[in-house]
Amino acid sequence: MASVHESLYFNPMMTNGVVHANVFGIKDWVTPYKISVLALLYEMTASKITLPERRRLNKLILPLQQGPDLTLGQFLQTVEECCPQTAYAVKLRLHEMADGELKDMEYFFSTLPTPFTAFDSEAYKTSVVGLFMRHMLLAYNKLSFSQVYKLYKSLQHYYHSHYAKPTDGQAGLAAVGDAVLQYLCKLLRDKNDNAPSRGPLSQKQAEYFLARQAYLLKNDENKALKPAALQEELNNMLKFNPDFAEAHYLNYLNSMRVQDIFLSAHSLLHYFDRLILSGSEGKSNGDEGYGRSLRYAALNLASLHCRFGHYQQADLALQEAIRIAQESNDHVCLQHCLSWLYTLEQMKGSDSTVLTEDSVKMAAHFCLPYLASLGIQSLVQQGATQGKTAHKLMDALKDTDILHWKHSLSELIEISLAQTTSIWRMYGKSTMALQQAQLLLNMSSLEPVNFGVQQNNTEAFTVALCHLAELHAEQGLYSAVSEILQHLKEQFPPHSQHAKLWMLCDLKIQFERHMNEGKYLLAEPLVTAISALNKTEGLYRKAQVLKALNRSTEAYNILQRLQVHCEKTKCTEMIIRVMLSTAELHWESSGFSTALPLLLQALALARQHHLQSLASETILHLAFTQLMLGVPEQALSVLHEAIEPVLAHGAIMDKGRALLLTARCQIAAAGFKLNGQGQADLRSAVFGVDTLNEAAAYFSKLNCKERLRDVYYLQAQLHRSLGQTSQSNKSAMLFRLLDQELQSPAPPVSMRL
């Protein structure tokens, strides 16, 4: 949930005069850099430029006017990339003034187009160019003679510092120096959009810098300054004006990027302190403005502690915010507090359904569609974990989507699509999940996009891309998985807020791939990394590795601990998975009858919560257990219930296992003996051969050699019993090659699904 104070979406361009130009060390509005910009605008209005070049230059006008001062080299290279002809004309114009006399600069200002004439000109008085020229002319005309002379000398220094020639001792390095300078200049140009000058900033420059960085942090973090560089610039800004509230807030946002709890809390408190001391709210609203800042400060502090998992401190801050809001009769703030209250209860693992329902009702009463939609989405999430049917959840999301589109709440639309994707995956409908993820990724944003950013760095996009990567991995499309994960790594650097999502996704995909390929020793080190991101997932995968390494006792102990933990946290999916793994441990000791009650309990739980994927997997385990207990006909009838959803929505591994089990049940139900004795139904035997071939194709996609070895073993025995010697020899040869390559004894086929 986003922070709730309106200042979280502040526009520093609209601050009430908190920052003053002289505070940042700029005494006069006219500077050599601004004269360079003025020369550019003059050449744009006076010379003929092609339409594409004019469009590119027009995009530069506002950043050049409002941005920090650039060196002449940076400025000229920026213009040259848009229009080389104009850059050359600007260079000549500056050369005439800097290498000429004071009267040349005077002549330049006298020849500027008058903003009050020529309505069709770009320099008309109400245009961006016209306003800038008016400011420049008014500021220049107010200068005394001595100030004009100082401006001229600073212009000369600004120009000649760029064209300073090397001394005699440096002449030998001129060629190398030019190449290095060109390279450095390119690097400076790449960073030009974000990096301010090292000197003090004027009020408008500081406001523009803060507005730009805050916008980029919200919409496209990769284009913002790196955390260390932004911290350095903010420290430099606060050195000149420690009471600059918006700079403290941007410092808070920057600290949150690197998960610095101390500095983020410190900056947040400073922000509200400066906001109150500056009187920007108190002057307009009296005591109400002061109290409003206090209660929202407490609420933001609560959200900060929630994010870092400090639930006790968050609860104390939230109670303080509620108390102040009740004293002031601020219903909007109280609604935000109620939203965070049920969020906090969910984080603690408590049932917050009643609180959430109350929040939705009150938000609707006070016409707060954003909070009402968030509450409904939270109820949908709780309903999914509590076993609500899919149509009820989808109806609720459909109603909220209507509200989102009506109020253009694009952030909540994205969350709704990501939530729908997760719900379909939980229910085992991979095709529907894939469709919803693609719908989100191809959706155009409803918000205005500035600065050329792409608004796809939200948590919803991260979740959708992670689902997409896992769905591709389940089908064995690892090259596509690599591309998706590479995009995630570029879009969400390791220090970013949502990086943990793709990190866990990447580790889980690697783990499953190693386990499928039988590389258990490579999968084992990944368990530690998974545990660092998600303790529950880490424990479950540790038990899987131990089971694969035949360390059954250790695996059983971990599974029992994990089941107790999941029952406390009501994690139904993991409870079912733990039950299935425990049943597999019973198989290893031939305790098939012992595994039956456990599997029936898991099946009832999966059906109660409408988890089709886990229900199908449980049915496969039940069918295998019945096959081992000598009732293949019953196993085959049970298996028919699960085979269709597995083939439609299941992973490649599940499809292969289901087909392998089906073939074994068909062979056993036909009374077929692998040693060639007894009568058999040849038709069922032929079906078994075809099913084994299909299973082998699935296992080959995953490079699952241990499973392939089982398939080839059964094929060789089946072909020999049917009298098909050549096919039997071929399957036996493939089995032998794989057996030599794996260099590990094959476990009994009867002991593994």
Look at residue 13 and tell me if it is in a domain: no
Q: What angle do CA 231, 235, 240 make, to 5 degrees?
A: 155
**b/e map 510-530, b = 16+ CB within 10 Å:** bbbbbbbebebeebbebbeeb
Tokens of 20: 């003053």
Does 668 share its domain with 734?
Answer: yes
Q: For 270-294, what is each residue's pLDDT tens digit?
A: 888 887 776 554 443 444 556 677 8
pTM score, whole prediction: 0.75
Q: What is the pLDDT of residue 44?
A: 79
Does 102 share its domain with 226?
Answer: no
| CA-wise closest residue to 674 among 685, 683, 687, 660 | 685
- Return d(Cα 82, Cα 32) in angstroms, integer: 21
Look at residue 619 and tell me if it is in a domain: yes
Last residue of a domain, one of 601, 632, 663: 632
> 747 — alpha (psi -120 to 50), left (phi > 0) or beta?
beta
Residue range 524-535: mean pLDDT, rounded: 94
- Return d(Cα 120, Cα 132) in angstroms, integer: 17
Q: What is the pLDDT of residue 175?
A: 40
Q: What is the pLDDT of residue 488?
A: 92
Look at residue 247 and tell me if it is in a domain: yes
What does each C-alpha distance from 431 to 438, 468, 610, 737 come to in angstroms?
11, 11, 17, 37
Higher pLDDT, 2 or 393: 393
The residue behind tokens 């299941």 is: 650
Look at residue 309 and tell me if it is in a domain: yes
Look at residue 720 and tell me if it is in a domain: yes
The residue behind tokens 């400011």 is: 135
Q: What is the pLDDT of residue 281?
A: 47
Higher pLDDT, 667 or 566: 566
The maximal CA–CA distance of the chain, rounded, in angstroms, is 117
Burial (CB count within 10 angstroms: exposed 0-12, middle 13-18, buried 19+), residue 584: buried
Task: Spell out the alpha helix ranges (H) of 496-608.
Answer: 499-516, 520-533, 535-548, 552-569, 572-588, 592-608
Residue range 505-517: mean pLDDT, rounded: 94
Q: For 72-115, what is each residue's pLDDT tens digit?
A: 888 888 888 888 888 888 888 888 888 888 888 888 888 876 65
Whether 450 shows a pLDDT value over 90: the answer reads no
Does 229 share its domain with 377?
Answer: yes
Tokens of 345: 């209860």
Does 628 share its domain with 656?
Answer: no
CB-CB contact of 246 with 213 (8 Å): no
The one-letter code for the residue type at 630 is G
Write the DSSP assignment of 188-216 as a string of letters.
HHHTTTTPPPSS---HHHHHHHHHHHHHH
Does 119 share its domain with 252?
Answer: no
Does 614 share its domain with 716?
Answer: no
What does each C-alpha distance from 709 to 521, 696, 715 come to in angstroms?
20, 9, 10
Look at residue 289 and tell me if it is in a domain: yes
Does 602 share its domain with 661?
Answer: no
Higher pLDDT, 589 or 514: 514
Last residue of a domain, one of 429, 444, 473: 429
| CA-wise closest residue to 583 among 569, 565, 613, 563 | 563
CB-CB contact of 562 with 580 (8 Å): no
Write the DSSP assignment of 643-698 as a string of letters.
HHHHHHH--HHHHHHHHHHHHHHHHHHTT--TTS-S---HHHHHHHHHHHHHHHHH
What does each C-alpha distance from 23 to 20, 177, 225, 251 come to in angstroms?
5, 38, 24, 19
Q: What is the pLDDT of residue 748?
A: 56
Among 15-29, 390-404, 576-590, the least confident range: 15-29
| CA-wise closest residue to 428 among 256, 611, 575 | 611
Does 108 share its domain with 237?
Answer: no
Look at residue 48 and tell me if it is in a domain: yes
The one-letter code for the residue type at 320 is E
Structural domains counted in the chain = 4
Range of the domain at 126: 32-162
Does 252 share its domain with 364?
Answer: yes
- Return d(Cα 232, Cα 230) in angstroms, integer: 5
Q: What is the pLDDT of residue 5?
A: 32
Does 303 share its domain with 262?
Answer: yes
Last residue of a domain, one of 406, 429, 452: 429
Look at residue 578 and tell me if it is in a domain: yes
Q: For 315-349, what is each residue's pLDDT tens digit?
A: 999 998 999 888 888 889 999 999 999 988 888 87
The residue behind tokens 């040693």 is: 675
Q: What is the pLDDT of residue 677?
A: 47
Does 655 share its domain with 697?
Answer: yes
Residue 456 pLDDT level (bands cut at 50, 70, 90): low
> 329 — alpha (psi -120 to 50), left (phi > 0) or beta?
left
Q: For 730-740, what is each residue's pLDDT tens digit?
A: 989 998 888 88
What is the rounded average pLDDT for all residues in the chain? 80
Does 417 share its domain with 331?
Answer: yes
- Collapsed DSSP state (helix, strand, coil) of residue 344: helix
- Return d(Cα 378, Cα 560) in angstroms, integer: 30
Highest mean pLDDT among 31-40, 239-248, 324-333, 529-538: 529-538
